Structures are given as C-alpha cells and as structure tokens.
Chains A and B, each alone.
Chain A
Amino acid sequence: MSKFTVFSYTVLLGMVLTYAQNRQLQYDFYEAPQALLLNPGSRTPYKWHAGLPLLSNTALQAATSGVTVNDIFANDGLDFTTKVRDRVVNGLSQNDEFGASGQVELLYGGFRNANRPSDYYSFGIYGEGYVAQYWPKDLAILAFEGNANNIGRRFSLNHITTQGELVNVFHLGMNRKLNDKWTVGARAKLYSSVFEFKSRGNDGYFVTTLGENNILRNSVIADVSLQTSGIEGIFDSADGEPADLARLLVNRSLLGGNLGVGFDIGFTHKLGKSTFLTASLLDIGFISHSKDIENYTLRGAATNEGIEIILPEDLGDLTTEIWQELIDDLEQQLPFETNQDAYISLRPVKLYSSLRYNFGETKDKSKDCDCGTEVLERDTTFDYVNAVGAQFFMINRPRGPQTALTAFYQRRLGKVLAVKATYTADKFTLTNLGLGINLQAGPVNFYILADNLLGYQNIPDSNYASLQFGFNILSWNRN
C-alpha cells in the first residue's frame, strides 16, 4: 500500500470521524442532550441520560465554496478541460475551500447531582477532526498555464493553505442552574491527537521577468512550511501488518499520542418571560505535538538567468559541471529541509450565540414561573409550543474567522415530537434550509438533523451537505 493511499484512507477516515463545524440545528435544541456539547450552559431537563455507544451521535458534513461536483463532473458533453479551466482554475479564488468534517460519539452520559439538583454532569468520548483545503489559485494557474505567458506575474505562495486532523476527545462537563435567570456550564477536555497536518501562514512568490543579462529571469522568494504529527508513524505501520496500524490508531486515540487540553464555556440567560439569550465558546485549548513530528520547510530566495559565461572573467575558470554547480547553488539558496521540531496547535475555537423567543400556550401556565433553582419538570422545561430566533456562529479558520447566521423556527408537537427548521447563510451557500426532528418514545430519544435540504434536489450541485443522527436513553426529571 503506497504512502499516498494510506494517507488518503486516513484522511477519509478522519472525514468520517471528525467534527461538524456549524451545527445550527443541534444548538439549543435541548430535547437531545447533545445540545450540551454545543453549549455547556444549555438547559438540562434530564435526570440522567446515556447515549447508545457509537450511535449516540454521528455527524457528517462536506462543503465546497465556489464550485460544485456537478459543475465539473456533470455529463453535459462540454469539454472537461475547458470546464476545469473556466470554473476551477480561473473561477475559484484563494479563499474558496473544500472541507469535510464529522463526528462519532463513542460514549456519552450524564446525571443530575442528587444532593444538588441544580447541577448536571455530563461526560464522554468522541472522535473529531476535519480536513480543509483552500484553493491554491496562483499555483493552479502556474501548473495549468505555465510561466511563459505570465511574464511579470507574481504567483503567490501564500495561497498554499491546508489543514487536517483526527483527534479523540475525552470530556467532562458541569451545568448549573444558578437561578431563574441564569444557567451556566463549563466542560473540560483532554485531546488525544491521532494525526495532524497543517500548512498556513506561508509567504513568498515565484515570478518570471525579463532578465538583466539573459532573456528571462526566474525568481523565487519562499517562506513555506508544512507541519505534520503522526503521519510518518501511520505510513510506517501501514507498511506492516494491518493489525499494527489498527493498534497504532487505537493507542493514539487512547492518550498514547500527542496530548492537549481545553475547555468549553456557555450560558443561557432568560430575558423577561419568554426570551432567552444563549452563548458558548468551544474548544479553547491546544495540543502539544512532540511525538512523531515531521516538518517540511522551503525558505530562502533564489534568482536564475541560466548559466553565465562572461569573458575574460571566466576564461579557464569554467568546469564542465557548471550545470550541476548551478543546481547546487539554487538548492543552497532555497533549501528544502525537514525537521522534527515540536510545535503547539491551537484548537479551532468556535463561538455560538442565539436569541430565542418562545410563544404559544403551554398546557399548564401555573408551572411557567420558572422560579427557584429546583429541577424543572419535563413538561415545564419544554415550556414552549413555538420558538423563533436567530443564531450566530463563528469559527477560527486558517484564513481567519468564518461566520454563519441562522434564523430558526422550532415547534413541539405533543410530548413525542419536536421539530426545528433553520435558514442559514454562510460562505458556502445562501440557500441553506435545514430540518431537525427529535422523537421521544418513552425513554428512547432519536434525532435526525439534515442541512441544505434544497441541495438534495441535485446533490452533486450542492455546495454544502450535512447529516447528523443519534440515539439516547433519557430519564426525565420527574421519573
């Protein structure tokens, strides 16, 4: 199995086992306890909960900006090279990206403190990560067209930006209802990295200009690096028995790899009788990478006008190996090097916030005071029939923060069914309609959340798709 194949499979695995970026349907949809993972200060109407191992939450997401699969691969009879040139090479910008993420929850549970019922504890393990590849526009044009017809054009090396990881997260959270206005929460996290690669903050350019002596001059100024951890070990293990690779991945997932720490915080604040303000900050932390490091750098400056023979200076001074000397000089001026230097990666911090207004008649108005710190009954906790509001999401990405704005409408249909519909605008799409359904059959909770439903009319033509589902066993406070 080649290294590239192993790496591709690993990245694909990472895409399956990684963390959905914006989960606007799940945020504050606290019928399912996974809402606590997006806001540790969410409301908690449960006595205890237990996710079905490996099935309590599976989330997948894929996104492209600027181009879709259909734009390229539609069987439309158009010349493929022309489509790629017009829609990808010349059509995309360096800020367009291809990304995928997801999450598989391995274990998730929670319980209310019997002695202090205002406190709810939750804990679990999930795998998360993502792959994000920004479009290297200038390098793509250079590869597609070459430099001959681009004299004087600077091809920026800053367009090289890629990042991906697979990490297992152990977490323990506490949620406390302080009073009838405030619910706050925090979650501590321990990260166990399986692998990571990132290349960001690069600088420099390649340019071809008219030469000073000769016809053309090629110049490179480069400050480019790629940091990796865990990749080489995976390659090496893949060359051996399959069990070796599996053992390595399991070991790294269970605190045997590079480790990090972090935390989440969040709150729910009641404004007036039916209005709620919520916010959370997730993944404030870092991973220290010191094991299985392999970093690559290309740093320096070089200019080349070919071999120069100037008489009389070079009379009798030339060797026949002048070509090799030229190559050696270039490699010295622009060395491609590797190192094993440890590094620290900050987690991609995420911010959620929402403003929500509940309306519609509840069954028992007398229970709607929501006063005191005692645990709420299930019927009163879900004290809404309808809810509308707006959510804001922001995530720190390699090229700066990405944001999304969501409008939502939520409705409970009896005690069994709750539905949330969203409209979200972000860099990937402005037509993202999503729908989440939460079913409660006795203690069994099932939810399914799907995004960008209009994209399902022609999935390959969609810029964004996500799906999330899971099963939990819930015990309500009155049980």
Chain B
Amino acid sequence: MKKQPFLYIASVLLLALLSACADEQNFDQIDDLSVEPLVATSIFYFESDENTINAMPAGQFYDQNFTFEAFNEPFVADNLLDGKITYQLENTTSKELEIMVEFLDADGNVLDSETFILQPEQTFPLEVEVNYGVGGQSLDILRNTTDIRVTGNNMTDNTSISTMPEPKVILRTSAEFRLKLQ
C-alpha cells in the first residue's frame, strides 16, 4: 500500500505521456501574413541664398538634374505598395520664386512634375504632400524615375535685398513609402 501514492503519480504522468495530443494547427496561415512596413527617408535638400540668385540674370537661376534610383531599385520597385512625397519650402528672399521638381525616366522623359510658387519673404513654410498609389498619382512614376531635375526661376528682379536675416530659399523633401515584405 505504501507504493500506491508514487505509483499513482507515475501512472498519471505516464498517462499524460501516452495520451499526448495536439490542438489543430494550420501552418498554411503563414501565407496570410502581411508585413508592410512604412519606411521614411529624406530625398534631397536644396538651398540658395539671395546673393546667388541676384548674381544670376533674372529668370532661371538654377537648373540641375541628377540620378535618383531609390525607387527603381528592383527590391523597392517590386514591393512598393503606395507612397507619399512631402515638400517643405521656405523663401525669405525679396523675390517671388518658382521651384520646379521633375521626375525623369531613363530616356529623359518627364514622368511627373511639381511646381511651387513662393511669395517674397514668406513668413511660414509651405508644405505640400503628393500621394502615390491608390487615390493618388501612379506608382509607375516612382518605379520608373531614374533622374530628378530641379529648376529655380526668379520671377522678380536681381537687385532687391530682403530685410529678413540671411535671406534664402530652401526646398526640403522626404518620402514615405509602404513596402510589401510578405
């Protein structure tokens, strides 16, 4: 009789071992996993002081295109779901300025462009968001962009001087895009 408690415990443990079972598992659920991170990064920063603008003839004071292949990298292009480009502009010069950003494909064709008119001595930054994907511009614009062209036009004169400290025009850009990793 003394052995009974131990045998009882051993029997219960053995029974547990022998009656091993498992809830129903569905490993196909892995196909339903959705991993879509929202990635953010700055794209480019443009700045010019008023003296430089005044040193140029009135009209176009800057025109530069450069390669930009962040979006047409195969991994990004293949997994891009949607995106947003944010432009922030400041103009503390005494001039009305036009800043234009163009997205170009490998053949130099303009896929899309954004034009910003900045009033003289703007006291608050202008912020513009452009959406791509559902409800916005075509994602193919981003996927096929290999170059960006930045153009600055002075719509006023090249002699006036702003009363604001360190007058300059600034364009900041950043991108937020959603990728489908799984």
- Chain A residues within 8 Å of B, Cβ to Cβ: 69-70, 72-75, 79-81, 84, 142-149, 151, 208, 211, 213-218, 304-312, 315, 318-324, 409, 411, 413, 419, 421, 433, 435, 450, 453-454, 456-461
The answer to whether A308 touches B21 (Cβ under 8 A) is no
The answer to whether A73 touches B29 (Cβ under 8 A) is yes
Binds A, one of B10-18, B112-120, B134-142, B158-166: B10-18
The answer to whether B67 touches A457 (Cβ under 8 A) is no
Least CB distance from A233 to B in Å reads 30
Least CB distance from A211 to B in Å reads 6
Task: Let me know if B26 is at the binding interface, CB within 8 A.
Answer: yes
Least CB distance from A181 to B in Å reads 30
Give the distance in Å from the alpha carbon of A457 to the alpha carbon of B15 in the complex.
10
Give the distance in Å from the alpha carbon of A144 to the alpha carbon of B62 in the complex.
41
The answer to whether B9 touches A421 (Cβ under 8 A) is yes
The answer to whether B48 touches A311 (Cβ under 8 A) is yes
Least CB distance from A147 to B in Å reads 6
The answer to whether B39 touches A146 (Cβ under 8 A) is yes
Q: Pick from A142, A309, A322, A457 the residue with the most CB of B within 10 Å.
A: A309
Least CB distance from B97 to A in Å reads 13
Task: Let me know if B78 is at the binding interface, CB within 8 A.
Answer: no
The answer to whether B17 touches A453 (Cβ under 8 A) is yes
The answer, among B13, B41, B65, B174, for a CB contact under 8 Å with A453, is: B13
Q: Which residues of A contact B55 (CB under 8 A)?
A: 312
The answer to whether A460 touches B32 (Cβ under 8 A) is no
Q: Which of B1-15 contact A (CB under 8 A)?
A: 3, 6, 9-10, 13-14
The answer, among B20, B39, B46, B67, for a CB contact under 8 Å with A324, is: B67
Q: Pick from A211, A218, A320, A323 the residue with the most CB of B within 10 Å.
A: A323
Task: Let me know if B44 is at the binding interface, CB within 8 A.
Answer: yes
Least CB distance from A407 to B in Å reads 13
Give the distance in Å from the alpha carbon of A373 to the alpha carbon of B39 in the complex.
73
Give the distance in Å from the alpha carbon of A216 to the alpha carbon of B9 in the complex.
64
The answer to whether A307 touches B45 (Cβ under 8 A) is yes
Instruction: Identify 22 residue pairs between A and B in the complex whose beta-carbon atoms are under 8 Å apart, listed by A's number.
Output: A80-B33, A143-B35, A143-B181, A145-B37, A146-B37, A215-B86, A216-B42, A218-B41, A306-B44, A307-B44, A307-B66, A309-B45, A309-B46, A309-B64, A312-B49, A312-B51, A318-B64, A321-B66, A323-B68, A435-B13, A435-B14, A450-B17
Give the distance in Å from the alpha carbon of A217 to the alpha carbon of B39 in the complex.
12
The answer to whether A457 touches B21 (Cβ under 8 A) is yes
Least CB distance from A114 to B in Å reads 39
The answer to whether A458 touches B17 (Cβ under 8 A) is no
B138-182 Cβ-contact flags toward A at 8 Å (1 or 0): 000000000100100000000000000000000011101011010
The answer to whether A456 touches B17 (Cβ under 8 A) is yes
The answer to whether B174 touches A309 (Cβ under 8 A) is no
The answer to whether B48 touches A308 (Cβ under 8 A) is no
Give the distance in Å from the alpha carbon of A72 to the alpha carbon of B51 in the complex.
63
Q: Which residues of B contact A454 (CB under 8 A)?
A: 16
The answer to whether A419 touches B27 (Cβ under 8 A) is no
Task: Let me know if B52 is at the binding interface, CB within 8 A.
Answer: yes
Least CB distance from B99 to A in Å reads 12
B68-105 Cβ-contact flags toward A at 8 Å (1 or 0): 11100000000000000010100000000000000000
The answer to whether A456 touches B66 (Cβ under 8 A) is no
**Given A84-B33, A435-B10, A456-B19, A309:B25 Cβ within 8 A:** no
The answer to whether A320 touches B45 (Cβ under 8 A) is no
Least CB distance from A76 to B in Å reads 8
Task: Let me know if B43 is at the binding interface, CB within 8 A.
Answer: yes
Give the distance in Å from the alpha carbon of A322 to the alpha carbon of B68 in the complex.
8
Q: Which residues of B contact A322 (CB under 8 A)?
A: 66-67
Give the distance in Å from the alpha carbon of A315 to the alpha carbon of B26 in the complex.
62
The answer to whether B66 touches A312 (Cβ under 8 A) is no
Q: Which residues of B contact A433 (CB under 8 A)?
A: 13
Task: Let me know if B123 is at the binding interface, CB within 8 A.
Answer: no
Closest B-chain residue to A147, C-beta based?
B40
The answer to whether B43 touches A306 (Cβ under 8 A) is yes
The answer, among A144, A312, A413, A461, for a CB contact under 8 Å with B3, is: A413
Least CB distance from B175 to A in Å reads 9
The answer to whether B38 touches A144 (Cβ under 8 A) is no
**Given A215-B42, A309-B45, A453-B17, A419:B26 Cβ within 8 A:** no
The answer to whether A323 touches B67 (Cβ under 8 A) is yes
Known: A80-B30, A323-B67. 8 other contacts (CB 8 A): A80-B32, A149-B38, A214-B172, A306-B173, A306-B174, A307-B66, A320-B65, A433-B13
The answer, among A70, A147, A318, A435, for a CB contact under 8 Å with B25, is: A70
Least CB distance from A139 to B in Å reads 11
